[in-house]
C-alpha cells in the first residue's frame, strides 16, 4: 500500500486510507493490517494512486512541513500540499546562486551530458551498430569543455551519431527512420520518441517538485520564455532509457497502421496510444538495483532531482546522475 525509500513514502495502491496518531502516519487498506510510520522518518509523500487523507493526517503533514506530491500512475505532476514552504527557500537560493556561477553550471552540465553519452554508447554496443566512436569522442571532449556552447556542440554531434545508429537498428523493422525531427514529428518513429520523451518529462517533473527545486532553473539548457529548463536538463541522462524503450515498441508492439497523419504531424491513433502507456507503466514499475538499493524505475527517475539537490546543499561533492551503464 505504501513503500518508503530514502525518506520518501510512495502511495501507489488505490484505496489507501492515510491517518495520523501519536506521532505516526498510519496506512490502512480494507481487509489488511494497518501500517504505522514515525513522522520523523518521512521527508516527503508521493501519491500515485487514489488515496484518502484524514483531517488529522492533513493537519499533521502541514504542521510538520512534510510535502505531499500528487501525481498519477501514468505520470505527470498534479499538485502538492505544502505546509512550510520555507524549507525550500535555502535550496532554491543555492540553485539560483549555482545558475549564476559559470563553473558550477559547467559542473552540472558536464555531468548531465556525460551520463547521456555513456548511456547512448552502451545502447549502440548492445545493438551492434556504428556510432560508438563518435560518441566516445564527444565524451572525451566533454571533460575538457570550459563553456556551454562547446559542450552543446559535442553533445549535438554525439546525438546525431546516436540517431544514425537508431536508424540502422530499425532497419528490417516495419518502420523507416531517417533523422530526428520533432516540431512536429513527421513519421511514426519520431512520433513515438516525442511521446515517450513527454512521458519521461512528466516523471522528472514529479521528482523535481518533490525535491523542492525550481523547474525553470536549469544549468545546461538556456532559459527563455519560461521553459522548464531544469526538467529539460534532468531528462538528458535518462534519454537512453526512453530511446531503448521506444526502439523495443517499434520493433515488437507497433505497426504502421497504428499511426495517422494530420497535416505535417504524425500521431498514434487514439486507441493505440494505450499500448505505449501500458508498456511505459510496466517499465516504470520494474525493479533496478542502484547504489545498493532495489527500487523501481519510477523512483530512480524521481531521485535524480534529489541527487542534484544534495549537491546544491553541499551533501555530496559532485552531482552524480544515473546512466545506462548502471542498469
> Residue ranges for the binding site?
155, 221, 236
Encode pLDDT of 67-78 as tens digits. 888 876 555 677
Residue 6 is predicted with a pLDDT of: 52
* 8 Å CB contact between 122 and 79: no
Give CA separation, 281 vs 16, 285, 321, in Å: 20, 6, 22
Residue 75 is predicted with a pLDDT of: 54
- Whole-number Å distance between alpha carbons of 209 and 222: 20
Are both 199 and 300 inside the same structural domain? yes
Are both 193 and 139 inside the same structural domain? yes
* 8 Å CB contact between 241 and 267: no
Residue 9 is predicted with a pLDDT of: 85
Range of the domain at 101: 89-326
Choose one of 84, 111, 146: the last residue of a domain: 84
Q: 133: number of CA atoms within 13 Å, CB side?
A: 1
Are both 62 and 180 inside the same structural domain? no
Any idea what the CATH number is for the domain that residue 202 is in? Answer: 1.20.120.920
Any idea what the CATH number is for the domain that residue 17 is in? Answer: 3.100.10.20
What are the 10-residue block averages of pLDDT along the chain, 327 residues in total?
A: 61 89 91 90 83 94 84 66 71 95 96 97 95 93 94 96 97 94 93 92 87 93 83 97 97 96 90 86 89 89 94 94 78
* 8 Å CB contact between 267 and 198: no
Residue 45 is predicted with a pLDDT of: 85
- For residue 152, the tally of other CB atoms under 10 A from its CB is 16
Q: Taking the mean position of all CA atoms in its chain, how far away is CA 324?
A: 13
Are both 154 and 246 inside the same structural domain? yes
C-alpha cell at 278: 501500458
Total domains in the chain come to 2
Choose one of 30, 50, 84: the last residue of a domain: 84
Are both 221 and 78 inside the same structural domain? no
Are both 104 and 14 inside the same structural domain? no
Alpha helices, DSSP H only, in the chain? 55-64, 86-99, 102-127, 132-142, 148-169, 188-211, 229-235, 239-252, 270-285, 297-312
Encode pLDDT of 93-114 as tens digits. 999 999 999 999 999 999 999 9
Are both 75 and 110 inside the same structural domain? no
Residue 326 is predicted with a pLDDT of: 53
Instruction: Write the CB contacts of 194 (distance below 8 Å, at least 6 apart in sequence).
Output: 182, 185
Are both 169 and 297 inside the same structural domain? yes
Under DSSP, is residue 26 helix (H, G, I), strand (E, B) or coil? strand
Question: Nearest 10 degrees: CA dihedral of 192, 307, 108, 313?
Answer: 150
> Residue ranges for the binding site for Mn(2+)?
155, 221, 236
Are both 10 and 109 inside the same structural domain? no
Amino acid at each position: 500500500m505504501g513503500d518508503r525509500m530514502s525518506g520518501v513514502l510512495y502511495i501507489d495502491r488505490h484505496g489507501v486510507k492515510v491517518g495520523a496518531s501519536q506521532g505516526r502516519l498510519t496506512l490502512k487498506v480494507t481487509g489488511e493490517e494497518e501500517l504505522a510510520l514515525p513522522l520523523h522518518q518521512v521527508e516527503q509523500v508521493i501519491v500515485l494512486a487514489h488515496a484518502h487523507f484524514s483531517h488529522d493526517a492533513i493537519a499533521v503533514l502541514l504542521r510538520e512541513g512534510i510535502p505531499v506530491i500528487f501525481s498519477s500512475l501514468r505520470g505527470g505532476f498534479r499538485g502538492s500540499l505544502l505546509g512550510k514552504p520555507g524549507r525550500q527557500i535555502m535550496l532554491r537560493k543555492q540553485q539560483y546562486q549555482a545558475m549564476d556561477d559559470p563553473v558550477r553550471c559547467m559542473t552540472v552540465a558536464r555531468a548531465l551530458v556525460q551520463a547521456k553519452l555513456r548511456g547512448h554508447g552502451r545502447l549502440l554496443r548492445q545493438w551492434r551498430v556504428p556510432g560508438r566512436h563518435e560518441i566516445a569522442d564527444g565524451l572525451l571532449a566533454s571533460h575538457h569543455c570550459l563553456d556551454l556552447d562547446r559542450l552543446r556542440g559535442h553533445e549535438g554531434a554525439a546525438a546525431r551519431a546516436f540517431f544514425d545508429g537508431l536508424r540502422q537498428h530499425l532497419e528490417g523493422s516495419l518502420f523507416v527512420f531517417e533523422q530526428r525531427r520533432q516540431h512536429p514529428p513527421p513519421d511514426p518513429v519520431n512520433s513515438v520518441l516525442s511521446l515517450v520523451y513527454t512521458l519521461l518529462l512528466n516523471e522528472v517533473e514529479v521528482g523535481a517538485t518533490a525535491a523542492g527545486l525550481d523547474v525553470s532553473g536549469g544549468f545546461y539548457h538556456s532559459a527563455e520564455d519560461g521553459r522548464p529548463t531544469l526538467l529539460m536538463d534532468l531528462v538528458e541522462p535518462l534519454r537512453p532509457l526512453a530511446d531503448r524503450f521506444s526502439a523495443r515498441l517499434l520493433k515488437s508492439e507497433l505497426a504502421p497502421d497504428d499511426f495517422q497523419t494530420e497535416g505535417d504531424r504524425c500521431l498514434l491513433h487514439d486507441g493505440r496510444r494505450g499500448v505505449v502507456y501500458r508498456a511505459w507503466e510496466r517499465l516504470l514499475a520494474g525493479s533496478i538495483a542502484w547504489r545498493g538499493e532495489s527500487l523501481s524505475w519510477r523512483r530512480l527517475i524521481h531521485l535524480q532531482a534529489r541527487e542534484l539537490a544534495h549537491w546544491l546543499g553541499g551533501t555530496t561533492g559532485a552531482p552524480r546522475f544515473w546512466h545506462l551503464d548502471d542498469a
